[in-house]
């Protein structure tokens, strides 16, 4: 009787095990590669660290001045119109007069949006002649409290723009360019819980930052007051014409009441400078810079250099290994 002997493969052996092991990255190998290239990593990291230090030092200080504002009570006219709506609403509707919705306008939110608008920013820049301080300022001379301008952009002695640009741009920046720059340094935020409004400006000069915040508050109050007075005067003119055209006593009563409410709006606006915003905490000249965060710049620059150096060492090793 013959016996056949069969050779079976090892039970623990898998045809793909060697391939899987070769595809896996050995952590010890990685650490070994990094250790072998430690001097390259140290050199590159050192270069990035030194570069970060020089970059951080070269950045000028930016100062931030801010003011805390409270929305003024601008709804006086709304209460009167609401009372008229309750008393004469039905009769007014028959006459085609709408008394509803007059008090529902959020004057505070409207004022915030006006401050952020292109038209208001352009008017503010031109009114206070701050285009050079906005677009050409290079450094702030603390000793003399003076702005040093970029000579390639603007000549302070000749008050002339010198920058070289291609069409359609001109040497003197347009209001569109100025608005883009102004919107970067000016912020207006309203707290949802308290309703308080914060207006802030960042600039190379702390004095200019404080001055611009004060101007912004004064200008927005004046702008909103001018708009309200103009609208009220137009309403009074319209209502007086309607009074002359009607002989119905009840309708004339409503119209006279509306004229009275609009006259109250004009009177309120004329006697109050802080029409939309009341200043709770005025803007001050900041003593400490807001940015740049030089220590953070150096740390991030050093970390970036170290990561790039490690990647370079690993890529160099595996490219040689693959070839």
Q: Are 238 and 90 in a shared domain?
A: yes
In a domain, 178, yes or no: no
Write the pLDDT tens digit of every residue in 180-196. 999 999 999 998 888 89
Write the pLDDT tens digit of every residue in 128-145. 999 999 999 999 988 898
Domain extent at residue 30: 25-58+295-322
Total tally of structural domains belonging to the chain:
2
Under 8 Å between Cβ of 317 and 38: no
Q: Are 190 and 54 in a shared domain?
A: no
Residue (of 200, 202, 187, 207) closest to 147 by Cα position? 207
Q: Are 193 and 230 in a shared domain?
A: yes
In a domain, 9, yes or no: no
Q: Are 276 and 301 in a shared domain?
A: no
Q: Are 113 and 226 in a shared domain?
A: yes
In a domain, 160, yes or no: no
Q: Are 91 and 227 in a shared domain?
A: yes
Burial 65-74 (b: 16+ CB within 10 A, else e): bbbbbbbbeb
Q: Are 214 and 284 in a shared domain?
A: yes
Residue by residue, DSSP assigns 120-164 as: HHHHHHHHHT-HHHHHSEEEEETTTTEEEEPTTTEETTTTEE---
In a domain, 260, yes or no: yes
Q: Are 117 and 264 in a shared domain?
A: yes
In a domain, 18, yes or no: no
User: Each residue's pLDDT tens digit in the chain (323 positions)?
Assistant: 444 444 544 544 454 544 445 445 577 878 888 888 889 999 999 999 999 999 999 889 999 999 999 998 644 444 444 455 555 544 445 444 555 444 445 788 899 999 999 999 999 999 999 999 999 999 998 889 899 999 999 998 888 999 988 888 899 999 999 999 999 999 999 988 888 999 999 999 999 999 999 999 999 999 999 888 888 888 888 888 888 887 877 777 878 888 888 888 788 777 788 888 999 999 999 999 998 898 999 999 999 999 999 999 888 888 887 66
Q: Are 207 and 285 in a shared domain?
A: yes
Q: Respond yes or no on whether the N-terminal peptide bond of residue 292 is cis (omega within 30° of 0).
A: yes
In a domain, 166, yes or no: no
Q: Are 189 and 252 in a shared domain?
A: yes
Q: Phi/psi at 12 (nearest 5 deg)?
A: -85, 0
Q: Are 125 and 232 in a shared domain?
A: yes
Write the pLDDT tens digit of every residue in 90-138. 444 544 455 544 444 578 889 999 999 999 999 999 999 999 999 999 9
Q: Are 221 and 278 in a shared domain?
A: yes
In a domain, 150, yes or no: no
């Amino acid at each position: 009787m013959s016996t056949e002997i069969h050779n079976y493969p090892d039970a623990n052996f898998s045809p793909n095990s060697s391939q899987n092991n070769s595809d896996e990255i050995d952590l010890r190998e990685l650490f070994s590669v990094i250790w072998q290239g430690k001097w390259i990593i140290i050199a590159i990291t050192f270069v990035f660290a030194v570069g970060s230090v020089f970059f951080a030092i070269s950045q000028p200080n930016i100062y931030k001045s801010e003011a805390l504002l409270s929305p003024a009570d601008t709804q006086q006219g709304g209460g009167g119109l609401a009372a008229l709506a309750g008393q004469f609403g039905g009769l007014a509707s028959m006459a085609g007069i709408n008394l509803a919705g007059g008090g529902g306008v959020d004057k505070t939110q409207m004022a915030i949006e006006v401050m952020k608008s292109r038209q208001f920013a352009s008017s503010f820049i031109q009114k206070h002649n701050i285009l050079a301080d906005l677009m050409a300022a290079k450094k702030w001379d603390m000793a003399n409290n003076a702005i040093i301008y970029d000579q390639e952009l603007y000549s302070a002695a000749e008050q002339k723009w010198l920058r070289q640009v291609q069409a359609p741009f001109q040497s003197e920046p347009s209001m569109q360019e100025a608005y883009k720059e102004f919107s970067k340094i000016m912020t207006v935020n309203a707290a949802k819980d308290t309703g308080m409004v914060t207006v802030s400006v960042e600039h190379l000069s702390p004095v200019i930052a404080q001055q611009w915040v004060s101007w912004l508050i004064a200008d927005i109050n004046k702008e909103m007051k001018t708009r309200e007075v103009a609208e009220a005067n137009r309403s009074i003119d319209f209502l007086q014409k309607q009074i002359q055209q009607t002989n119905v006593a009840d309708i004339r009563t409503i119209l006279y009441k509306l004229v009275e409410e609009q006259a109250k709006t004009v009177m309120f606006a004329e006697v109050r400078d802080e029409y939309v915003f009341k200043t709770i905490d005025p803007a001050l000249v900041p003593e400490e810079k807001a940015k740049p965060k030089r220590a953070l710049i150096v740390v991030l620059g050093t970390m970036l250099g170290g990561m790039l150096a490690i990647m370079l060492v690993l890529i160099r090793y595996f490219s040689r290994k693959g070839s």
